[in-house]
Structure 1
Amino acid sequence: MVKIAVAGGSGQVGQEVIDALAAAKKHEIVILSRNKAVTGDSASGVTWLAVNYDDKSQLIEALRGIHTVLSFTQVMDYTPQENLIDAAIAAGVKRFAPSQWGSASTIGMPWWAGKDKIKEYLEKVNENGKVLEYSLFQPGLFLDYLATPYKTAKYLEPLNTMIDFQNRRAIVVDGYDAIMTYTTVKDLAAVVARAADLDGEWPVVGGIRGNRVPVSQILKIGEKVRETTGRAFTVDKVKLGDLERGILTASWTLEASHPSVTGDQVEEMLKTVLIGTLLSSAKGAWDVSDEFNQLLPDFKFTQIEEFLAQVWEGKP
């Protein structure tokens, strides 16, 4: 048993992972939060601790005796995570997982630039010899998003993407059959819980490959599991060059956004995210590796067609 600190533990993905860790009943979990939550305190082996991410001395004290830190902090402001890394090193933390939890690269996705900053920072702190073991957990896109508007996880909320099963439509980049990795958030959480038990060193790149499929195959699955509607998928094709110039020619756009984006930002952010997701898919960002699959060969991932057939059975 070790002590695991979860930073940003009140977020959707963080809560999914916390539940998986708590269910395993193998470790003591400390949830770091800017505002101490009133929920979860009674859960076995789970405690909450309010912290100020701008106060390194407070962070160091919070991390004393901690073996592993899992970060789910917002990536748009990367300074708090840098402070968390510095505090982890000062407190003697062994393992650190930065706030990645997505694609293999951030190409075409400027809103995730903070992920690259943190990756570079971790490389820098270890440039003269390893002082902190870390892994970039990368599960690709959450398979749950293809179930939108239906919720398939306890905390993760539905989110629109470039492939819309509800309205039987998709946007693809003309001339590119992008390879996508889809993993359910439940499987991600289970893998993280298993990874916490591993005795060996974590891989720096921690790919988690639930399903590796080309977009064309996803659309075929869509036609199959939505065949009861009697309507084929409508596919809009957009040009890579247009996307690179910030031009979106598709007949529709995203309708839901992350709760961290509000007000006047929403419309522009939805366009930026859709363009970026299409660009990044064409450039291979969502074709993640399988390091944790290899470390956990007995783990059975939820398969895309079975999952979607169950979700969409009988749906209008």
Structure 2
Amino acid sequence: MSSSTLIKRVVLVGATGAVGAPVLQTLVDQHFDVTVFTRASSNHSFPSNVHVANVNYEDVASMTKALQGQDALISTIGFGGATLQKHLLDAAIAAGVKRFLPSEFGCDTHNPRVAAIPLFRTKLDIDEYMDEKVKGTGTTYTCVYTNAFLDWGLVNNGLLLDLPGKKIQMIDGGETPFTANSLDFIAKGTVAVLKHPDETANRAVRLNGAVVTLNQVLQYAKKYAGAEGWEVDEVTTEALEHEGMKNFKARPEDLSGYMMQFIKLAIYGSEFGGNFDGNNDNALLGLKKMSDGEVEQLVRSMVK
């Protein structure tokens, strides 16, 4: 790592979200100088060793001022705020920030089947914008791909399964292997990018915390939450794609009608590149893939 790319001072956007909170904790634990961007209306509190800057995400000039002297900007904002990232990037470039990490943290949009899904058009727009805007500047970017969220996906929206409600949508028989990452693994991988700025400049990195199947996850869930009373809905990726496209064409403004279908299609579809075995950056980033036993214990820890 050259002295010109050394990253010490980091701004985090979205620090209270599912990804942002563990990223913030990891940055603090690893002794980065951290500033959190928040809206003026925010009432969230942060540790005393974290700086807080109130910003207007529509005002590039004010964000440029707030980014002076910073080395990296990590965005973990939610899907609804994705377009604001163009303003963040513009401000980062104007302020001379060395590294920008957009809010990817999901399916690999470099895969052509994923890229063709309408839901991911916003992310592709941002990727194309980054490619063009960083040319000839001192700013570089890294996209972090994670595929499925493991622990979060057990209890939120039934992304993997609905552990509290004992429900699962079993896709293509549940035997397709796919990558899933715990939020802690995602945070450690994201922060590790900052320690390898030269090797990760202007490209995607893929985190491969675990490779599992839905049947495997369901087996662990039944073992610790009880085998009785599970509702299993068998569905194919073809059906998910058909339903998602139908709802998207009917009401493209209504994300609730197709978001989950498209996300599951990209995560579980065998042609969508959701298994990062053989195509990941664990070794570069100093990360170790979880064993089946560790995945089982994580599922056990999520049973209430």
Normalised by the shorter chain, which TM-score bucket? 0.7 to 0.9
- Alignment match, 2:4: none
- Alignment match, 1:28: 33
- Alignment match, 2:148: 141
- Alignment match, 1:202: 200
Q: 1:162 to 1:13 in 2, by over 3 A?
A: closer
CA drift of 1:38 comes to 4.8
- Alignment match, 2:263: 277
In structure 1, give the amino acid aligned to 2:215: S
Give distance in 2, aligned partners of 1:94 and 1:61. Answer: 15
Q: TM-score scaled by structure 1?
A: 0.76
Unaligned runs of at least 5 residues, structure 1:
149-157, 249-264
- Alignment match, 1:261: none
- Alignment match, 1:308: 299
- Alignment match, 1:237: 234
In structure 2, give the amino acid aligned to 1:297: G
Contact 1:139 1:188 (C-alpha < 8 Å) held by counterparts: yes
Give distance in 2, aligned partners of 1:291 and 1:130. Answer: 28
Q: Of 96, 99, 120, which residue of structure 2 is paired with 1:95?
A: 99
Q: Of 7, 10, 13, which residue of structure 1 is paired with 2:19?
A: 13
CA drift of 1:215 comes to 2.7
CA drift of 1:31 comes to 1.0
Residue 243 of structure 2 aligns to a residue in which SS?
coil
Residue 43 of structure 1 aligns to a residue in which SS?
coil
More helix by share: 2
Matching of residue 295 in structure 1 with residue 284 in structure 2: yes
- Alignment match, 1:252: none
CA drift of 1:47 comes to 0.8
CA drift of 1:214 comes to 2.7
- Alignment match, 2:75: 71
Q: 1:166 to 1:4 in 2, by over 3 A?
A: same
Residue 26 of structure 2 aligns to a residue in which SS?
helix
Give distance in 2, aligned partners of 1:310 and 1:34. Answer: 34
In structure 1, give the amino acid aligned to 2:77: T
Pairing of 1:44-193 with structure 2 (within 5 A): 44=49, 46-105=50-109, 106-107=114-115, 110-126=118-134, 128=135, 131-148=138-155, 158-174=156-172, 177-193=175-191
CA drift of 1:163 comes to 2.2
Q: Encode CA deviations 1:117-143: one digit per residue, 9 max, x unaligned.
A: 1111112224x5564221111222221
Contact 2:169 2:234 (C-alpha < 8 Å) held by counterparts: yes
Residue 11 of structure 1 aligns to a residue in which SS?
coil
- Alignment match, 1:254: none
Give distance in 2, aligned partners of 1:247 and 1:20. Answer: 36
Q: Encode CA deviations 1:150-193: one digit per residue, 9 max, x unaligned.
A: xxxxxxxx443252334443223346743322111122222323
CA drift of 1:50 comes to 1.1
Residue 64 of structure 1 aligns to a residue in which SS?
coil
Give distance in 2, aligned partners of 1:70 and 1:298. Answer: 20
Residue 5 of structure 1 aligns to a residue in which SS?
strand
Q: TM-score scaled by structure 2?
A: 0.78
Give distance in 1, aligned partners of 2:159 and 2:85. Answer: 27
Contact 1:7 1:32 (C-alpha < 8 Å) held by counterparts: yes
Contact 1:133 1:201 (C-alpha < 8 Å) held by counterparts: no
Aligned length: 281
Q: 1:220 to 1:109 in 2, by over 3 A?
A: farther
Give distance in 2, aligned partners of 1:241 and 1:86. Answer: 39
Give distance in 2, aligned partners of 1:300 and 1:240. Answer: 27
